[in-house]
Amino acid sequence: MSVHLHFLLILTGLTVSVKAGASVIIPCLYDKRYINHVKGLCKGFYWNHCSYVVKTNQRNSGKFSISDDKSRRIFTVTIKDVTYKDTDYWCAVEIDGGPDVREYFQLSVTRGTPTLYVDRQEITGFKGGNITISCYYHNSGEFKWCRLGGSCVTMTSGSIDETTVTIIRRVSNVFNVTMSGLRTDSSSWYLCVNGDLQMPVHVTVDKQPTTIRIHQLEKVCFQTGFEGAKGVNIANVMGEGVQKAGAEWLKALEPTVVKQADGDLEDLKVKEEGV
C-alpha cells in the first residue's frame, strides 16, 4: 500500500489554523499519472472510516467544493462555514482496482483569531512586478515561505524558481513576504509556514494590463469638441470596455487631432505596458 503514498501532498501532516465560521481553501498536489483520475475530499480521522464529502465527478455541495487544475496537477477543496467538527480530512485520488491514494490534513479551528493566517488566500500580481503577502502568526517557531511541491526560503532573502523572495518582519507577529520579478510560471500555490502550521496562498501572475491615458484623451476631445468624452471617468479608468471605446474615439478623432493638437496624437495612442 505504501507504494501509492509518495506523490501527495503539500507537506506531510499539514495543519491549517482557521476561525470557526470562516472558509478555507486547501490545495492538493498529485502525480502526473493521476491526471484523469477522480479526486475527492474524505472527512474523518481514520482513513478506513472516513466518508467522501465531495468528488470531482459529482456536483459541489453548499459547504464543500472541489476543482481540478490538470495543467498544474493540483486539485483544490474549499470548506465553507468551518465548525469545530471540521478538523480531520484526507485529500484522495481514486484508484480503480486498488486502494485510493490519500494524504491527511488537519484544520485547527479557533474561536478567535487563527494562530497563522493571511488577509486573503488568493492574490494577483503582474508579470515583472511584485506582490507582498502578510503572514500573521502567534506561535514561536521557524518561518518559511514555500512553493507547493517545491523549494522554500527560510532566510531574509532568497529565490524560488528565479523569482526573488524577501522576508521582512517590521512589526511583532507579522512576516511580510515580497515576491519580485514575477514570471508567468510564478503562478502557483505557496505556503506561509510557521512551526507546525501552514497557510496556503495562491498567486496568479497576469500580463500587464493595457491602459489608456485618459487625461490626454479628454484634453484632445475637449479641444475638438468631441462629445464622446463626456462619459469618460478620469480617475484611473481601466478595462476592456474602456480600452475598446478609447481606441474607437482615437480612430474617429485622428484627422482632427493631427490638425488641431499637433504632437499630442502619439501620447494619446493606446499603449500596452510591460507585455
Q: Phi and psi dihedrals of 256, rounded to 5?
A: -70, -40
Nearest of 99, 105, 106 to residue 5 by alpha carbon: 99
Q: Are 192 and 230 found together in one domain? A: no
Q: Are 20 and 65 found together in one domain? A: yes
What is the domain extent for residue 16? 2-110
Of all residues in the chain, the percent with pLDDT exceeding 70 is 71
Considering the chain, what is the average pLDDT of its residues?
80
* Pairwise CA distance, residues 67 & 13, whole Å: 22
**pLDDT higher than 50, residue 10:** no
Q: Are 103 and 9 found together in one domain? A: yes
Q: Are 11 and 82 found together in one domain? A: yes
**Boundary-marking domain end, from 181, 206, 231:** 206
* Pairwise CA distance, residues 50 & 121, whole Å: 27
How many structural domains is the chain composed of? 3
- Give the mean model confidence (pLDDT) for residues 126-151: 93
Please tell me the predicted confidence (pLDDT) of residue 155. 83
How many beta carbons lie within 10 A of that of residue 165, not counting itself? 22
14, 198 Cβ separation under 8 angstroms: yes
Please tell me the predicted confidence (pLDDT) of residue 225. 55
191, 146 Cβ separation under 8 angstroms: yes
Q: Are 106 and 141 found together in one domain? A: no
* Pairwise CA distance, residues 173 & 157, whole Å: 18
Q: What is the CATH number of the domain that holds 21?
A: 2.60.40.10
**Boundary-marking domain end, from 81, 110, 139:** 110
- Give the mean model confidence (pLDDT) for residues 209-238: 52
Q: What is the CA radius of gyration of the chain?
A: 24
- The string of pLDDT tens digits covering residues 20-62 is 999 999 999 999 999 999 999 999 999 999 999 999 999 888 8
Q: Are 191 and 221 found together in one domain? A: no
* Pairwise CA distance, residues 125 & 131, whole Å: 6
Residues in the chain: 275
Q: Are 185 and 221 found together in one domain? A: no
**Boundary-marking domain end, from 110, 139, 163:** 110
Q: Are 215 and 201 found together in one domain? A: no
**pLDDT higher than 60, residue 160:** yes
Q: Are 171 and 92 found together in one domain? A: no
Q: Are 199 and 217 found together in one domain? A: no
Q: Are 145 and 227 found together in one domain? A: no
Please tell me the predicted confidence (pLDDT) of residue 7. 42
Q: How confident is the model at residue 236 (pLDDT cuts 50, 70, 90)?
A: very low
